[in-house]
Amino acid sequence: MPDQLLFGMEVVLNGLMAGVLYALVALGFVLIYKASGIFNYAQGVMALFAALTLVGVMEGQVPFAHLINAILGTQVHHFGWHVPTLLAIILTILVMVLLAWTVNQLIFRHLVNQEPIILFMATIGLAYFLEGFGDIMWGSDIKKLDVGLPQGINPAIDDLTFGIFGYGFFIDNLDIVATVVAALLVVSLVLFAQYSKQGRAMRAVADDHQAALSVGISLKFIWVMVWSLAGFVALVAGIMWGTKSGVQFSLSLIALKALPVLMLGGFTSIPGAIVGGLIIGVGEKLFEFSVGPMVGGATENWFAYVLALIFLVFRPQGLFGEKIIERV
């Protein structure tokens, strides 16, 4: 088989894996938009905040240490213990639930039935606040995140493909884990939204806040639940991306990778986020591989948006988005 074809196959496989990582970020956006019609600009920062909290808890870091030391003249930085990974994840989830409750109490409770642009602006404010709050709480140094996920080339796939093609494909173990986790997440979330009482209530709230309230659905509970779920998804995304690059403040920029995925997959579809992610991942990687060298490379960022725009022209609601029908 020609080398270029083998390289192309390797690129496609890696594109699929990268797409799953993008989809993990996009899922959080979809959940909140689906339930409340809010485009949550803060989703990327939530992934950062969740990862910061996880590392901080695992390492026994004293939150707000710089602030405490500056005010009290102390020198406290660590509690001197290390929290096991699973317990740290559970504690981080609790922090994200608390964050969801606080966000709802302080911001969105007061904005029921406001225009979507108002809600969007509120999430911009939330993003900047949360970024600064995370900085004060955990510091801005780069933190190594090790929750025991494997990284590096998968030798089994390398050997297998070498045996078949005479060229071993590179597939990152972390990407394989991310794929499995994303698949489980999507299946769980779809089942939850379709078949659970809370899931149906969530969809009812998404359709019409006032109507949902009139049939006795607690808007407050649903919004806190959805923001908590989005916080959980943000934690998963934060773990995957944070393991790759260390937990640092540029993690919040991963939201940029989710936007073309949302445009393509639709803002309201959980499976759409995955399919959108896969198409963007494969599309941008293949384009970079085939056309990139001819145009000087670094095509991935803009090509993802071009691809999404092409889909938008023909299907504005995205591949799996709900068609908007306005009755007069």
Partner 1 sequence: MRQTLLTAVTAAVLAAGPALADLTIVDTSYRTGPYAANGIPFSDGYQDYFTLLNERDGGVGGEKINLVECETGYNTEKGVECYEATKGAGNGALLYQPLSTGITYQLIPKATADGIPLHTMGYGRTSAKNGGVFPYVFNYPANYWDGASHAITHILNENGGDISGKKIALVYHNSAYGKEPIRTLEELAKKHGYELSLLPVDHPGQEQKSQWLQIRQQRPDYVLMWGWGVMNQVAIQEAVNIRFPMENFIGIWWSGSENDVKAAGAGANGYKALTFHNLGSGYPIYDDLRKHVVDAGKAAGAGDQLGTVLYNRGMYAAILAAEAIKTAQEMHGTAAINASQMRDGMENLEMTEAKMTALGVPNFGPEFKVSCENHGGNGLGAVSQWDAAAGEFKLITDYYQSDQEIIAALVAEDSAAFAAENGITPGC
Site membership for partner 1, residue 105 (CB under 8 A): no
CB closer to partner 1, 59 vs 284: 284
Smaller CB separation from partner 1, 188 or 301: 301
Stretch that binds partner 1, among 88-96, 101-109, 267-275, 290-298 (CB under 8 A): 290-298
Burial class (CB in 10 A: 0-12, 13-18, 19+), 228: buried
Which residues have CB under 8 Å from 308's CB, separation 6+?
Answer: 259, 260, 261, 263, 264, 280
Half-sphere CA count of 95, side-chain side, radius 13 A: 22
Note whether 291 binds partner 1 by CB under 8 A.
no
Identify which of residues 3 and 207 has a Cβ nearer to partner 1 in the complex: 3
Task: Tell me the C-alpha distance between 22 and 260, whole Å.
Answer: 9
Least distance CB 250 / partner 1 (angstroms):
4
Positions in 176-235 near partner 1 (CB under 8 A): none
DSSP string covering 36-55: H----TTHHHHHHHHHHHHH
- 14 binds partner 1 per the rule CB under 8 A: yes
Q: Minimum Å distance from CB 201 to partner 1?
A: 36
Any contact of residue 73 with partner 1 (CB under 8 A)? yes
Q: Of 16, 18, 58, 259, which one interacts with partner 1 (CB under 8 A)?
A: 18
Q: List binders of partner 1 among 256-275 (CB under 8 A).
A: 257
Binding to partner 1 by residue 59, rule CB under 8 A? no
Q: Which residues contact 264 (CB under 8 A, 6 or more apart)?
A: 272, 276, 279, 280, 307, 308, 311, 312, 318, 319
The letter for the amino acid at 127 is A
* C-alpha to C-alpha distance for 230 and 32, rounded to whole angstroms: 7
The yes or no reply on residue 292 touching partner 1 (CB under 8 A) is yes
Give the integer Cα–Cα distance in Å for 79 and 20: 36
Cβ contact 59:221 at 8 Å: no
Options 55-63, 118-126, 249-257, 310-318: segment touching partner 1 (CB under 8 A):
249-257
- DSSP class of 323: P
* Residue nearer to partner 1 on the CB measure, 77 or 315: 77
Binding-site size, partner 1 (CB under 8 A): 46
Candidate residues 78, 82, 110, 144; the one interacting with partner 1 per rule CB under 8 A: 144
Phi, psi of 167 (to 5 degrees): -145, 125
Euclidean distance between CA atoms 171 and 156, whole angstroms: 10
Binding site for partner 1 (CB under 8 A): 3, 7, 10-11, 14, 17-18, 21, 66, 69, 73, 77, 132, 135, 140-142, 144, 146, 151-153, 170, 172, 241, 244-246, 248-254, 257, 284-285, 288-289, 292, 296-298, 300-301
